[in-house]
Amino acid sequence: MKKIFLAAGLCCMSAIPVSAQKDSNHNFEISKNLEIFNDIYKQLDMFYVDSLSADTVIEWGIDAMLRQVDPFTVYYPEEGMDELKEMTTGKYAGIGAVIRFYKKEDRVMVIEPQEDSPAIEAGVKGGDLILSIDGKDMKGKSTQEVSENLRGDAGTTFELTVKRAGVEHPLSFKITRRNIAMPPVPYYGMVSDGIGYIYFERFVDGCSRDVRRAVVDLKEQGAKALVIDMRGNPGGPLSEAVEVTNLFVPRGQKVVYTKGKLASVNSEHYTKKEPLDVDIPVAVLVDGSTASSAEIVSGAWQDWDRAVIVGERTYGKGLVQMIREVPYHGSLKVTTSRYYIPSGRCIQAYDYRHLNPDGSAKTLPDSLTKAFKTAGGREVRDGGGIKPDVVITPDSLPSIVYDIATSDVLLDYVNHYVQTHATIAPAGDFSLTDADYADFVKMVEESDFTYKRRTEEMMKLLERTARFEGCYEGAKPEFEALAAKMKGGVAADLELPKNKGEIKSVLESDIVARYYFRRGVVQQQLKADKDLKTALEILTDTERYESLLKPVKK
């Protein structure tokens, strides 16, 4: 027996120097490479034919280093701290307006002032073309440059000069900047008899209070079921994800836990309060842009069989970041751990350690995903975001719709419509007439709008390939017949039923934004929302709702 203990002791002792040697080698490699990097820069600075900017060159080096990890680990120098603050708090100091570049005038245009913002209070309107800020001409300035001039310290005042369609002379406004908070819940309301709807757009500090307030208000209005819309929600503070989950999950239930390299970053998070309602039926809308904390909430509700998830598979961000200070007032947002939801699955969908040849991240193959169980025994899987209980495939967007939506002619039409209509129908009830749409088509025809039809590009590629392989001549009549059928002008393409429906929807949303702001846009877009329609069908069918939350019998 003594020999056995002696052997075991020797094994333990032999492991110690191996571990120490490994750490020593690692530390030596770090020291060596930092010394090489430092020396190369010094030699470049001394001998290179041109002078180098230390800020620029070193920042390039930092960016190249961070590209080897994941896209969520980001360095913010001192001048970028405002961006970090806005991202984590949802607040910034400025005038509260969405802006966009208007190519025709080589200037930036105000698209949508935020409700109750300094911009609105001063008299700025959507469609105003920015001429100058405190006398500084903004012609040729990018959206980013104009944004930096509009922002500043809260309480500071500046003069904004704009050109407004239909007004002969420029208009000037004195505007005092103040802290702008982007609303996490821009709209909520009743969307059907007994069913409330909450558009939860972003996670920021305190957002759980806004969601709670919306739930309470809707229940007072008679809501017997709820739709929580988190499509496009990029996530945010982990603590807020726990608070939001707690609204419908009992106290003491696990929401998420994190595991990283250091024990200090490992943590477990449980619900701490009494929930608002553990019985009210809930449907959650998600899509490919639902990420991070929004995935924790939807995933936790799925794992506790507390809500039916509807829509597309979510983004798949299962990485947790913390903010670390760096010298000279900068910060590093660094990934320190992975998070896991109650069933034990990590929803990270990408492998950033082993990149594809083009530098993009690899996705985890379905064959490598693992099965987990919800509280009620339903099977769920890791390795690819949150897969909805009811999957809805999104409609593809025709290329002309994208090109129109980002064109100057769309802005021109919206400006013209607002000039000629003092009021419009309430958001959700507003629609353009066929005559209105015909006016738009005419404006497009008379403009310099052009776009490349994807079918024409593919036809040309097919023809070139056929000629290269020597089979074009034999199929020439078929090629010509197909080309004739595919041929069409911009006006004809605008009148195609699918294109017309999508473009009218874009126009209507942009027009509604001028009268009813962000909340109005949300209401307007719900009109033809097939994800919402599916959610309402599920919530009004008790048997189907309950069956979706039960294990599938094999």
Residue numbers annotated as active site: 292, 303, 317
Residue 233, burial from CB neighbour count under 10 angstroms (0-12, 13-18, 19+) = buried
Rg (CA), the chain: 28
Judge contact between 210 and 186, C-beta under 8 A: no
Number of C-beta neighbours around residue 249 at 10 A: 24
Distances 126 to 130, 163, 254, 370 between C-alpha atoms, Å:
11, 11, 46, 50
Residue 537, burial from CB neighbour count under 10 angstroms (0-12, 13-18, 19+) = middle
* Residue matched to tokens 């904004």: 160
> Cα–Cα distance between 435 and 444 in angstroms, integer?
14
Which DSSP symbol is given to 162?
A: E
> Cα–Cα distance between 82 and 90 in angstroms, integer?
11
Distances 551 to 4, 221, 305, 392, 548 between C-alpha atoms, Å:
50, 33, 10, 20, 8
Q: 420 by DSSP, 3-state: which? A: helix
> Cα–Cα distance between 201 and 230 in angstroms, integer?
6
Judge contact between 266 and 337, C-beta under 8 A: yes
Strand spans (E) along 271-422: 282-286, 308-311, 319-326, 330-340, 350-351, 362-363, 371-373, 379-381, 390-391
Q: 526 by DSSP, 3-state: which? A: helix
